[in-house]
């Protein structure tokens, strides 16, 4: 059975329909890349998965547990929403590190507040995660002393510290200088080798092609095309997909 | 009167200025917080009441507010409430009956709480939505997010405008002399009237300058201490 089951998610902002019925499923350890132009609803979809927005309709099921079913969206308590969020992690485009905490504290803050272990255990696993993302030597630095790429890697470690079942990335390299995107993408790729289940919204077509198990192309709030990277990139069926990929690939 | 005697006489007044300063800061700063939260409330009625209140308090001269606080209760209840108060308080400080000082403290506290509330509101609203969202996706509660993530960033941002307001406050205490509270300027005027000495009036400036100098150093240190991070 799939780890994550998303069924017919719909979301409106006022009169604008942003998501018009999104369904997909994701197996444990798989990487899903979502591509599409700005305004196609990719980010809103991730925000619904992380309960930063509540979908108007549709359901989200993780590991057989229904987290939300459109009908009861408005009756969910703050506490239920908070619990639901713990199934997911989210890495933001702008990192959103906590500026007053150093690198290590950024990673240990949430596990400490949520009492996910003894202070020692939490610190040990935070150090391990930061080693993993290549920042073992920056533990005492503050976010403003780091490059964008380093900040994003801290943000990844921070999200991993709570061991979410699905880790989501919202254009993790879009705010970075071109020469810094590589280090972040390499970290994400290394997570795949550790069987982390991930959803990556990205404009990095090469990355999506090489790392994802499944690629979704979204346009105007619907999934236009879904398949393996070979299918979506190599043999797109829809005109919209073809046009998008032409635009993304043939810059010159 | 010798220079030393004048200094002591003026310092007596300056203690009253410092009292007004300290009480206004200690009561007004915390009181500003609930006013700030009301001004940001989701409930439109609460927000409207709070905004109108802040508008009135910031829109009317502090001197007029002191007059209103001191005289209006007496007019309403047909008895001079504040001037009765010194019977209940064992402070009797020359001409300073306790009632007059209490009226000044109330007016100052309300007035400064409103100014502080606007500084707090500006500070809180200036923190990016991303900080809250980062807390939410980590499964933190609203209280945890405010206390552990937002608060310190707000404090860092409000220290400079608060410093400004605090420096203004010590000088505003001179307004207390409008209802004959013997703060330092009133003391100096007393000397001008009874001893025909005008120079003590100008000399009062030195007291303010020394105190503001100290405040500047302390507040500057605080600002520096909080500058280890950039939000």
Residue that is written with structure tokens 């902002």 in the block: A13
All domains of chain B, ordered by start, with CATH? 3-126+164-228 (1.10.3720.10)
Q: How far apart are CA A19 and CA B111, in angstroms?
A: 49
Residue in the structure block whose two tokens are 């810059």: A251
Lowest mean pLDDT among A49-63, B52-66, B108-122: A49-63
Give contacts of A114 with chain B, Cβ < 8 Å.
138-140
CB under 8 Å to B148, separation ≥6 — which residues?
A: A109, A113, B135, B140
> Token match 């509540």: residue?
A54
A148: which strand partners? Answer: none
Contact B141 A82 (CB under 8 A): yes
Q: What is the percentage of chain B residues whose pLDDT exceeds 70? A: 92
Q: Please name every residue paired with A169 in a beta bridge, in sequence order, or none if there are none.
A: A91, A200
Q: Which chain A residue is nearest to residue B141, measuring alpha carbons?
A: A82
Report the C-alpha gap between B69 and A246 in whole angstroms.
Answer: 74
Distance CA A250, CA A7 (A): 34
Q: What is the rounded average pLDDT of the residues B116-134?
A: 96
Mean pLDDT of A218-236: 92
| Secondary structure (3-state) at A101 | coil
* Rounded Cα distance, A158 and A189, in Å: 17
Min Cα distance B26 → chain A (Å) is 26
CA-to-CA dists, residue B219 to A180, B20, B28, B126, B172, angstroms = 39, 19, 18, 21, 18
Calculate how close chain B gets to A31, using CA atoms only, in Å. Answer: 20
Inform me whether the C-beta atom of residue B149 falls under 8 Å from chain A C-beta atoms: yes
CA distance B229 to chain A (A): 5
- The residues in A 104-163 lying below 8 A from B, measured between CB atoms, are 109-110, 113-114, 142-144, 158-159, 162
Q: How confident is the model at residue A246 (pLDDT cuts 50, 70, 90)?
A: confident
* pLDDT the model gives residue B45: 96
Question: Given CB atoms, is B143 within the 8 Å cutoff of chain A?
Answer: no
- Average confidence (pLDDT) over B3-10: 94
Whole-number Å distance between alpha carbons of B218 and B192: 34
Say what percent of chain B tops pLDDT 90: 83
Q: Average pLDDT for residues A64-70, to the nearest whole number?
A: 85
In a mutational test of the B interface, the residue from A76, A84, A96 whose CB has the highest number of chain B CBs within 10 Å is: A96
Return the pLDDT at A140.
96
Closest residue, chain B, to A79 (C-alpha) = B141
Each residue's pLDDT tens digit, A70-122: 767 677 888 999 999 999 999 999 999 999 999 999 999 999 999 999 999 99
- Return the SS3 of B79: coil
Question: Is B9 buried (19+), middle (13-18) or exposed (0-12) by CB count in 10 A?
Answer: middle
Rounded to a whole number of angstroms, the CA Rg of chain B reads 21
Distances (CA, A) of B190 to B9, B55, B178: 10, 36, 13
Confirm whether pTM is higher than 0.90. Answer: no
Q: Do residue B131 and residue A142 have CB atoms under 8 angstroms apart?
A: no
Q: How far lies A116's CA from each of A2, A97, A110, in Å?
A: 27, 20, 9
| Of residues A52, A96, A162, nearest to B139 (C-beta) | A162
pLDDT over threshold 70, residue B53: yes
| B42 shares contact with chain A (CB less than 8 Å) | no
Facing residue for A90 by CB, picked from B137, B148, B229: B137
Interface ipTM: 0.92
Q: Which of A146, A196, A132 is nearest to A168 (CA)?
A: A196
- Taking the C-alpha atoms of B177, B181, B187 and B189 in order, what is their torsion angle to the nearest 10 degrees? 40
Q: Are A8 and A58 in contact (CB under 8 A)?
A: yes
- How far apart, in Å, are the Cα atoms of B203 and each of B33, B93, B229? 37, 22, 42
**Chain B residues with CB inside 8 Å of A99's CB?**
153, 229-231
Q: Do B229 and A85 touch (CB under 8 A)?
A: no
Which chain A residues contact residue B130 at CB under 8 A? 92, 94, 96
Cβ distance B166 to B86 under 8 Å?
A: no
State the smallest CA–CA distance between residue A32 and chain B in angstroms: 20
CA distance A172 to A185: 8
Chain B residue closest to A141 (CA)?
Answer: B229
User: What phi and psi values does residue A236 have, to the nearest 5 degrees?
Assistant: -65, 140
Q: How far is CA B114 from the centre of its chain?
A: 9
Helix boundaries (H) for chain A:
42-49, 78-85, 103-113, 119-132, 148-160, 178-193, 205-211, 229, 239-249
The residue whose two tokens read 């209006």 is B72
How many residues are listed for chain A in this entry? 252
Determine the 3-state secondary structure of B2 from DSSP. Answer: coil
Query: In what order do the strands lie in the sheet containing A198-201?
Result: A88-91, A166-170, A198-201, A31-35, A214-219, A222-227
Number of neighbouring beta carbons within 10 Å of residue A35: 27
Closest by CA position to B117, among listed B174, B178, B161, B150? B161
Can you give the pLDDT at residue B80?
67
Query: What residues pair up with A214 in beta bridges, in sequence order?
Result: A32
Nearest CB to B134 within list A86, A88, A96: A96
User: Two tokens at A24?
Assistant: 């997909």
pLDDT in tens, A168-211: 999 999 999 988 999 999 999 999 999 999 999 999 999 999 99
- In this prediction, residue B216 carries a pLDDT of 97
Cβ–Cβ below 8 Å for A110 and B138: yes
| Torsion angles phi and psi, residue A219, rounded to 5 | -145, 135
Q: In chain B, which among 153-182 make CB contacts under 8 A with chain A?
A: 153, 156
Q: Is B138 within 8 Å of chain A by CB? A: yes
Side-chain half-sphere CA neighbours of B139 within 13 A:
23
User: What's the angle, vertex CA A222, arms to CA A30 and CA A185, rounded to 5?
Assistant: 35
**B94 pLDDT higher than 60:** no
Q: What is the pLDDT of residue A65?
A: 87
């Amino acid at each position: 059975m799939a780890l994550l089951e998303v069924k017919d998610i719909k979301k409106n902002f006022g009169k604008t329909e942003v998501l018009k019925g999104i369904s997909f499923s994701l197996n444990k350890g798989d990487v899903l890349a979502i591509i599409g132009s700005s305004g196609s609803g990719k980010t809103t979809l991730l925000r619904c998965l992380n309960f930063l927005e509540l979908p108007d309709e549709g359901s989200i099921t993780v590991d057989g547990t229904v987290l939300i079913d459109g009908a009861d969206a408005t009756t969910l308590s703050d506490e239920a929403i908070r619990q639901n969020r713990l199934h997911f992690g989210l890495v933001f485009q702008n990192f959103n590190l906590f500026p007053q905490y150093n690198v290590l504290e950024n990673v240990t803050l949430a596990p400490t507040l949520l009492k996910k272990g003894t202070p020692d255990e939490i610190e040990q696993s935070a150090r391990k995660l930061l080693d993993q993302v290549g920042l073992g030597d920056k533990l005492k630095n503050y976010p403003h002393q780091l490059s964008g790429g380093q900040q994003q890697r801290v943000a990844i470690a921070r999200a991993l510290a709570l061991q979410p079942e699905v880790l989501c990335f919202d254009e993790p390299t879009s705010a970075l200088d071109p020469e810094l995107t590589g280090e972040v993408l390499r970290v994400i790729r290394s997570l795949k080798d550790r069987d982390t289940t991930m959803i990556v919204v990205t404009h990095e077509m090469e990355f999506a092609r090489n790392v994802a198990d499944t690629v979704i192309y979204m346009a105007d709030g619907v999934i236009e095309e879904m398949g393996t990277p070979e299918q979506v990139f190599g043999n797109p069926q829809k005109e919209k997909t073809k046009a998008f990929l032409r635009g993304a690939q043939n810059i010159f | 009167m010798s220079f030393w005697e004048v200094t002591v006489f003026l310092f007596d007044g300056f203690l009253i200025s410092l009292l007004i300063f300290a009480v206004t800061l200690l009561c007004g700063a915390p009181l500003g917080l609930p006013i700030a939260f009301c001004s940001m409330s989701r409930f439109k009625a609460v927000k409207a009441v709070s905004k109108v209140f802040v508008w009135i308090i910031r829109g009317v001269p502090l001197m007029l507010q002191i007059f209103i606080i001191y005289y209006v209760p007496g007019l309403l209840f047909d008895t001079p409430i504040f001037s009765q108060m010194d019977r209940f308080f064992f402070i009797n400080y020359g001409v300073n009956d306790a009632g007059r000082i209490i009226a000044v403290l109330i007016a100052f506290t309300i007035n400064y709480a409103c100014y502080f509330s606007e500084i707090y509101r500006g500070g809180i609203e200036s923190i990016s939505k991303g900080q809250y969202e980062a807390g939410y996706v980590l499964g933190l509660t609203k209280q945890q997010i405010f206390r552990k993530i937002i608060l310190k960033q707000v404090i860092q941002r409000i220290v400079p405008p608060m410093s400004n307001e605090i420096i203004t406050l010590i000088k505003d205490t001179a307004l207390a002399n409008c209802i004959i509270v013997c703060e330092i300027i009133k003391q100096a005027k007393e000397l001008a009237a009874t001893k025909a000495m005008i120079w003590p009036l100008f000399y009062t400036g030195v007291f303010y300058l020394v105190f503001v100098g100290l405040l500047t150093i302390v507040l500057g240190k605080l600002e520096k201490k909080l500058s280890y991070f950039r939000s």
